Chain A
Amino acid sequence: MTVPAIRIASVTKSYGALKALGGVDLEIGQGEFFGLLGPNGAGKTTLISALAGLVRPDGGVLEVMGHDVVRDYRNARRNLGVVPQELVFDPFFTVRELLRIQSGYFGIRGNDDWIDEILASLDLTAKASSNMRSLSGGMKRRVLVAQALVHRPPVIVLDEPTAGVDVELRQGLWQFVRKLNRDGHTIVLTTHYLEEAETLCGRIAMLKAGKVVALDTTDNLLRRFATHSLRVKVGQPAAALALGGVEVDGGWVEFAFDSFAEVEQVLARLREAGAGVMEMQLGEPDLERVFIEVMHRV
C-alpha cells in the first residue's frame, strides 16, 4: 500500500461562531488530479491553509505523503507546493531572486537549472530580471506557480489559480499543470470554472458550508446526478418552482430527468400551472448542473 498524497480526517475549524470546516474527511491518492469545488465561503481556502500549516485546525488530522502537517511539519511542507488564492508578491525582489530565495527556504542551493526550466515552462524567461512590481497580474500569478514548484513538491495545490486570468494564460497554465500531473505530481485544484474542473479532474469533492457533500469520480458524478435537464424561462418562476424545478438565474428554472420521455409531462404541467414558458433549452449532463443540484439537494 502506498501512502495517500493527502489524508484529511475529521478536520474542524471555527472562526468564532462560524464553522468554517465542520469535520472534513478526504483522501487523495498519489498521481490524482483532484478538484475541490464549492461556492464562495465553503471552506476550500481554509482547508488548503490547514494542509499548508497556515491555519491551525481545532481538531482532526492532516497528512501530506504520510507526514502529519503539525508533528512532522518539515517533511509535510517539503512534499507540498501551494499556489495561494491571493495575488501576493514581494516587491523588493526580481523574479529570479525571489525563486532563488524560495529555493533556499526549502534548503536548496544552486537550483538555477530547475528555476530556468520552470521559467521556460511558464513563459517567464524574459521576465527573470524584472522586479515583481513591474509585472502584470497574469505574470505575477505565474510567478506564484513557479514559487510553489521550486522544491519539486510531489503534491501541488492550486487555489483558484485562474481567477481573473485571461483565457490564453488559462489554457497555457492548464497545459503546464496537466504535464506536471503526467509526470507524476498529485494535483489538487479549486476553481470557479466548472467546465475546467470537468475536463481536468479525475475525481471531485464538493464542499458546502465546511462539509464534503459529494465525493466521487467526475464520470460518476455526471452519471449519478441530473442525467438530462430542461431549462425554461418562465413568466411565473414561483409556479415552476412549485413543480420541483430549481431556480438557476434570471427567471430560468431547471428540471432534471433520467430520460427525455419525461419532458412532455413537465411541459404539460407547466402549462396547467400557468407558468408561461417563454424560452427553453435541453441540456446534456455537465458538471455545472451537477454542482447546482448537489448544492440545492443538501
Chain B
Amino acid sequence: MSERVPRIEVGAEAPWVGFRTLLYKEVLRFWKVSFQTVMAPVLNAVLFLLIFSHVLDRHVTVYGDIAYTTFLVPGLVMMSLLQNAFANSSSSLIQSKITGNIIFVLLPPLSYREFYAAYVIASVLRGLFVGLGVLLVSIPFVELQLAYPLWVLSFAVMGGAILGSLGVIAGIWADKFDQLAAFQNFLIMPLTMLSGVFYSIHGLPQLWQDVSHVNPFFFMIDGFRYGFFGQSDVSPWLSLGVVGGCFVVLAAITLAMLAKGYKLRA
C-alpha cells in the first residue's frame, strides 16, 4: 500500500518554470485580446496626434526648431506605454480577484517575488508593445530622430515597471472595479497629464514648473524624450535617478504587500 502512495520528488522540477508559466499566462492574457489591449490604445494615440498636429503644428515649435508634432510623439508613446502597463497588471489582478480564479496562482508553490516579477514584466511587455505601435504608426507623420536609443529603452522599461508595480498595488488594494477606476482617474491620469506629455514645462509659469518637478511622471517623459532629441528640460541623469529611485521604492512597497499576503492571503 505505502509504496503506491505518489511521491513528490522535491526539487525535481526545472528551475523557473513556475515563474515563466505565470509570465507566459499574463502575456497570453493580453495577447489573446490584443485588439483591445494593443490596437485600441495605438488608435487612440494616433487620433491625439492627428488632432494636435492639425491644430498646433504651424504655430508652435519646441527646443528652437522642433515641430510640435515631432515633440509630441515621444510624449504620446510614453503616455500610452505607462497607461497600458498600469492597465495590464491592475485589470488582470482585479479580474482574478473578483472572479475568484486568483486562487490558481495562490495554490501553487510560487514565491511572492516570482509573482511580482511575472506581473510586472508582463505589464512592461504590454507597455512596450503599445508604445512601439504608437511609434511605428507616428513615423509617417513626423521626422523623428533617435539620438540615444539606450536612453529611450531605459526609460521605457523603467516607466513600464513603475506603472506595472502601481497596477499590482491598485489591483490588490481595490475590491471593486470603481475603486480601481478611482485610482486611475484621480492618481494615474492627472500625474500623466501634468507631466509634460503635451508641452515643454519651460513654457509654463514658474509655479507649474515647480509642481512638475515633484511629479515623477515628468522625469519619465522628459528622460524618454531626451533619448529622441538629445535635449530635455532637465538632465537625463537626474531623471534616471528619480525614476530609478521611484521604481526601487514602489518595488519595495509592492513586495512587502505581497510578502504579507495583503488581501490575497487574508
Contacts and interface: CB of A to CB of B under 8 A. Distances in A.
A224 interface: no
Interface string B13-54: 110011011101100110011000000000000000000000
Contacts of B6: 152-154, 183-185
Nearest to A107: B13
Given A54-B103, A89-B101, A78 B29 contact: no
Interface stretch (B107-115, B168-176, B218-226): B107-115
Interface in A75-107: 75, 77-80, 82, 84, 86, 88-93, 101-107
| Interface residue SS majority, chain A | loop
B8 interface: yes
Contacts, number: 111
B266 interface: yes
B58 interface: no
A31 B13 contact: no
B265 A54 contact: yes
B1 A184 contact: yes
Nearest to A180: B6
Contact of B21 (A65, A91, A105): A105
A190 to B, nearest CB: 16
Contacts of B111: 74
| Interface residue SS majority, chain B | loop
A229 interface: no
Is the interface on chain B under 10, 10 to 19, 20 to 34, or 35 or more residues? 35 or more
A107 B99 contact: no
B261 interface: yes
A282 interface: no
Interface in B76-106: 96, 99-101, 103-106
Given A31-B2, A183-B4, 16 more contacts: A30-B5, A55-B266, A56-B265, A56-B266, A73-B109, A77-B108, A78-B10, A88-B99, A88-B101, A90-B101, A92-B29, A92-B33, A101-B25, A104-B18, A105-B109, A184-B4
B101 A53 contact: no
B108 A102 contact: yes
A52 interface: yes
Nearest to B111: A74
B59 interface: no
Contact of B5 (A54, A56, A91, A184): A184
A109 B110 CA distance: 15
